[in-house]
Structure 1
Amino acid sequence: MTGDIEVVRHPRARRAKLSVDPTSGAIRLTLPPRASERRALEWAKSQRDWIARQRATLPTARPFVPGASIPFGDAVLTLEWMASAPRAGRIANETLIFGGPRDGFERRVERWLRAQAFSVLTGETTRIAERAGVSVARVSIGDPHGRWGSCSSSGTIRYSWRLILAPHSVLQATVAHEVAHRVHMHHGPDFHALVGQISDSDPKIARAWLRRNGAALHWFGRSN
């Protein structure tokens, strides 16, 4: 990282490329292995107007504050803080209510969403793995920027907790995608055919939804 520009060398890069990550707003300068970093950075810093235009198109930060609305599967919930309510979140009339001190409200919302994501994704993974006739060693969640799920050769499947903010059909199709990797560790025709067989919804529609809307999910819980 140089200043606010992340420098990355890529073995297949043919020229310097400047990009703005839509999930984080990070500025990335990708270089060929032997390119001059100094000259490339001088060029990148001369592109301030272009960077500003790209950042202006980024999704709006959506902090977890009282009164904010958040997607939750196929629903939309309004966040509410009530000092007299229990600290653990509960849903009532399309409102997600947390008690306890106002300080830490944002952290409690994210912890609750992560717990819900783990529960739903574990359940869906178990159900779809049974349909596919495969086993899954472990399910875990994280907050990666580059992918919605991953499946290791050891049978561990890891998901982004932010899938709980997507429509349930999108979450479910993503689970089917990762479970199918327990049979095919590639993205060939056999893999896609299996995903279609074990998914409750159209995987192509789910992928298209994530391409259009996925970046915005990474801005929930952020203040800037």
Structure 2
Amino acid sequence: MIPPIEVVRHPRARQMRLSVDNATGAIRLTLPPRAPVGPALRWAEGQGEWIARALANRAPPQPFEPGATILYQGEEVGLDWDSGFPRTPLLDDGKIIAGGPREGYERRIERWLRRVALDILSAETADYAARSGVSVSKVAVGDPKGRWGSCASSGVIRYSWRLILAPPEVRRATVAHEVAHRTHMNHGPAFHALVRTLYGRDPAPQRAWLRANAMRLHSFGRIS
């Protein structure tokens, strides 16, 4: 039996998209603003085999706890705790080490990852914006479940902080994608041509990496 399917309309969606939330197992059908719900829902309900596979392939939670291994800029690194170290985490010899009390260790690791993500994504966004001759009013990071980045008409670009876990070339492909939206607020041929120009090559392999590893990236820092 197929679990309930949540229907969500997104103002920038151009086609329907079926996804499974790695954290909760929720099944979401995203539709363009005016797409009819009935036919789309019937199509989604017919994807039982795909839904079952996606639910079975959900990555187990990987809390930010001492002794765990996570991805950081595409490389596997260990997490360590040493009460004699400063509270602020640091990367040392393939490990991210944080001191201070054991209580709150997980929060300190995530805050550090978010801060590093914001710093790097802000710098890369500024670089691509300068190349493209556009302005970006603000760069922010959050933890959206279904998107790696978004660009508003106001010039605000938001990213998933989890991009700091992905390889740098994957992260930069996402930045090029969002900055290109400052010129083309659509996904037409001119938009994709600009993304390739900014990124320097076809970003399809990097986008495919994100799709293939999305559940794993969203498993890091989860407790249950």
Q: Same fold (TM over 0.5)?
A: yes
Please tell me whether the aligned partners of residues 71 and 77 of structure 1 are also in contact (alpha carbons under 8 angstroms).
yes
Counterpart-to-counterpart distance in 2, 1:108 and 1:101:
10
Percent identical pairs in the alignment equals 49
How big is the shift at 1:21? 1.8
**Residues 25 and 55 in structure 1, CA contact (< 8 A), matched pair in contact too:** no
CA distance in 1, matches of 2:52, 2:128: 44
**Structure 2 match to 1:25:** 24
Unaligned runs of 5+ in 1: 12-18, 35-43
Q: Give 1:72-151 correspondences, 5 Å limit.
A: 72-151=72-151
Kept in 2, the 8 Å contact 1:150–1:178? The answer is yes
Give, in angstroms, the shift of residue 60 of structure 1.
1.9
CA distance in 2, matches of 1:75, 1:10: 34
After superposition, give the CA deviation of every residue in 1:169-193 in whole Å (9 maximum; x if it has no partner): 0000000000000000000000000
Partner Cα separation in structure 2 for residue 9 and residue 196 of structure 1: 32
- Residue in structure 1 matched with residue 67 of structure 2 by the alignment: 67
Measured against aligned partners, the alpha-carbon deviations of 1:108-133 in whole angstroms (never above 9, x if no partner) come to 10000000000000000001110111
**Unaligned runs of at least 5 residues, structure 2:** 10-17, 30-35, 39-44
SS at match of 1:218: helix
Q: Distance in 2 between matches of 1:29 and 1:73?
A: 28
Residue pair 1:80, 1:98 contacting (<8 A) in 2 also: yes
Report how far residue 9 of structure 1 moved.
4.8
**CA distance in structure 2 between the aligned counterparts of 1:10 and 1:179, rounded to whole angstroms:** 25
Partner of 2:14: none
Q: Compared with structure 1, are the counterparts of its residues 71 and 127 closer, same or farther at alpha carbon in structure 2 (3 Å cutoff)?
A: same
Whether the 8 Å contact between 1:128 and 1:198 is mirrored in structure 2 is yes
Contact kept in structure 1, 2:138 and 2:157, CA below 8 Å: yes
* Matched residue count: 202
RMSD: 2.7
Q: Please give the TM-score of this superposition, normalised by the length of structure 2.
A: 0.81
Q: Normalising to structure 1: TM-score of the pair? A: 0.81
How many angstroms apart in 2 are the aligned matches of 1:201 and 1:65?
38
Aligned-partner SS, 2:71 = strand
Contact 2:22 2:218 (8 Å CA) reproduced: yes
Residues 1-224 of structure 1 aligned to structure 2 (within 5 Å):
8-9=6-7, 21-28=20-27, 55-224=55-224
CA–CA distance in structure 2, aligned partners of residues 167 and 196 of structure 1: 18
Per-residue deviation at 1:69? 1.2
> Could you report, residue by residue, the CA deviation over 1:33-70 in whole angstroms, capped at 9, with x for unpaired residues?
69xxxxxxxxx9xx9xx988753321121111111111
Distance verdict in 2 for CA 1:165–1:192, change over 3 Å: same
How far off its partner does 1:106 sit?
Answer: 0.6
